[in-house]
A = this chain, B = another copy of it.
Amino acid sequence: MKISPSKLISPRDINFLLYDWLDVEWLTDSPRYSHLTRNDFDSLLDLCLDLAQREFATHNRKSDENEPVFDGAGVTLIPEIKDSLLKFYESGIFASGMPLAVEGGQLPHTVYRACFAFFQAANISTAAYPMLSAANANLLLAHGSPEQISKYVLPIVSGAFFGTMCLSEPEAGSSLADVKTKAQLQSDDSYLITGNKMWISGGDHELSENIVHLVLARTPDAIAGVRGLSLFIVPKHLVNADGSLGERNGVSLTGINHKMGYRGTVNTVLNFSQATGFLVGKENHGLEYMFHMMNEARIGVGTGAAAVGYSSYLQAADYASTRLQGRSPDQKDPESPLLAINEHSDVRRMLLASKSYVEGGLALSLYAAKCLDEKLISTDAQKSDRLGLLLDILTPILKGWTSKWSLVANDFAIQVHGGYGYTRDYQVEQLWRDNRLNPIHEGTDGIQAIDLLGRKVRMQDGAAFNELTDQISKTISRAVNRSVGARHLADDLAKVLEQLIDVSVLIDSQELLSKRIADAWLYADAIGHVVIAWIWLEQFLASEDMVDVFGESKRATAQYFYTYELPNATTWLNVLNARHDLLLKLDSKIFLP
């Protein structure tokens, strides 16, 4: 793609990640992507950056200053959200990411994710509508009937319908086992859905003709817990056989949440009162299907977090190159010229740390997308399984680690701006508030950590974990045959990797789940740092022959991460290794004042 200046995501970096590192052009050799060329990728990437800058970034502040208004009946959003989404769909970008079978462009996921990241960087809250709609459509493509696909997915691809995911309830946020919404089978094979759903992003609006809610509910004879949940399509307007809109369904908006940021994404409380729903797949398999959407949303959230942090970093880097303040500590002449603040080591550290988090997070996201593409084109069943396992274990890391550390980049961007960063004259304060949602929604970072350590590390006798460590080991093996610099990094990574494996085995030997996951949050930090260190070694190797400033910047950032960040992972693994039971044996009364 064209290397134009941007405060969203560096196009030079996207070029590097897609072509120099991940070699996505190679995907076009496969039947699945043979209808495409690199030129197609580049044109679309250029279009996306342009549209993101012109249409999405331009109303980001306005969305923040004018949150959605609920008048008791409907929601009013600023018109720019609808206008920009209309252009987004009309330009064919949304459809480009969907399969050929539903009139999409079947772009590789890796390329689409990079394309979409520009929109997330420009305006995370407007981008949330197509992000959720795509995940909704992909769930139905995987688990819906042909009729459901034709009735609901095709209009989602065209932008006529948007989609939501309706899991949480006022008393069941992280705890889906306690979902209470009821589904009663009717004589026509539809179900009557009754209950309340909370925290539903895009739950009501006039941005699209219709909204396809995917709702977790419980049939009367279902068993308790998550194994008694079924999944239903509950459209805002019923859809006639010919695709035209029928009557209004029994879904009503009862309130909206007033958020600290991310304000353009209306977040709603919905009441389902005798609403008509249509079962997806089989009864009692709802959560399993929903995970298809949830995993995609988690990846979307992790990528979005990196994108928002990335934009914040670029703004800080720009400010630091133009703001003159102070002199070298060794310069004692107070009349000597001022330095740009990016010459001060404290500012450099904040910029390097931020760069390592956001570029690392984005790179991990594109790597995971490449795994998906490779899985889709693979003709080797075993390889396909391994790629699936790798994706499984990387998902909670991408969601949890990236949303946590990208927020640190947002924080540093404020600090680099000094007092100005705390004012609304600059965008970095909004981006910090926006990005604060990402460690919460689609499963908090605590939930991701439990998913990772309680499930993913252990699944299939550790197969996913082993696949991950095999991949990391392969990179290490490649690196030791390269430069001295690469070898140093590889040696450091090898040590921490060995320690990670040992600690993982030790934790896995615990009998009780409560003991295994008591320090899951710390394990998640540690494995996240190891994975990002691996991704930085990959980037170091891919940039090693580049003699320009860009190559230098990649290598310096890798070195920053290994010098200042990776040692923390060793400490955290040591703490884990000691198997403290402090958190388990506490009396909760100590938290009462």
Contacts and interface: CB of A to CB of B under 8 A. Distances in A.
Contact of A349 (B326, B346, B583): B583
B414 A436 contact: yes
B6 A592 contact: no
A423 B592 contact: no
Interface string A246-287: 000000000001111100000000000000000000000000
Given A173-B325, A564-B575, A567-B571, A588 B440 contact: no
A334 interface: yes
A582 B560 contact: yes
A422 B263 CA distance: 11
A591 B321 contact: yes
A578 B488 CA distance: 15
A521 B349 contact: yes
B440 A175 contact: no
Given A444-B418, A563-B580, A321 B588 contact: yes
A444 B347 CA distance: 11
A93 interface: no
Contacts of A445: 415
Contacts of A326: 174-175, 177
Contacts of A171: 324-325
A574 interface: yes
Nearest to A328: B514
Interface stretch (A71-79, A233-241, A479-487, A549-557): A549-557
Interface in A372-420: 411, 414-415, 418-419
B334 A226 contact: yes
B173 A260 contact: no
Given A552-B590, A591-B321, A422 B449 contact: no
Interface in A218-250: 223-226
From DSSP, what is the main secondary structure of chain A's interface residues? helix
A355 B522 CA distance: 18
Contacts of A567: 571, 574-575
Interface stretch (A22-30, A297-305, A337-345, A470-478): A337-345
Contacts of A199: 419
B345 A257 contact: no
B593 A514 contact: no
A210 to B, nearest CB: 26
A437 interface: yes
Nearest to A12: B593
A543 to B, nearest CB: 12
A507 to B, nearest CB: 13
A570 interface: yes
A402 to B, nearest CB: 16
A42 B203 CA distance: 53
Contacts of A446: 344, 346-347, 415
Contacts of A444: 415, 418
A586 interface: yes
Contact of A321 (B12, B521, B560, B592): B592
Contacts of A590: 549, 552-553, 556-557
A419 B433 contact: no
A59 B418 CA distance: 28
A334 B225 contact: yes
A352 interface: yes
B346 A520 contact: yes
A390 to B, nearest CB: 25
Q: Which residue among A178, A557, A582 has the maximum number of chain B CB atoms within 10 Å of its CB?
A: A582
Nearest to A584: B345
A516 B345 CA distance: 11
4 closest A-B pairs by CB: A225-B334, A553-B590, A346-B446, A329-B513
Interface of A: 5-6, 10, 12-13, 168, 171-175, 177-178, 198-199, 223-226, 257-261, 314, 317-318, 320-321, 324-330, 334-335, 338, 340, 342-349, 351-352, 355, 411, 414-415, 418-419, 421-425, 429, 432-433, 436-437, 439-441, 444-446, 449-450, 454, 512-514, 516-522, 549, 552-553, 556-557, 559-560, 563-564, 567-568, 570-571, 574-575, 578, 580, 582-584, 586-593
21 contacts: A173-B419, A175-B327, A223-B334, A224-B335, A257-B419, A258-B425, A260-B422, A260-B424, A328-B514, A329-B513, A345-B514, A345-B584, A346-B520, A355-B591, A415-B440, A419-B441, A432-B436, A556-B590, A563-B582, A568-B568, A571-B571
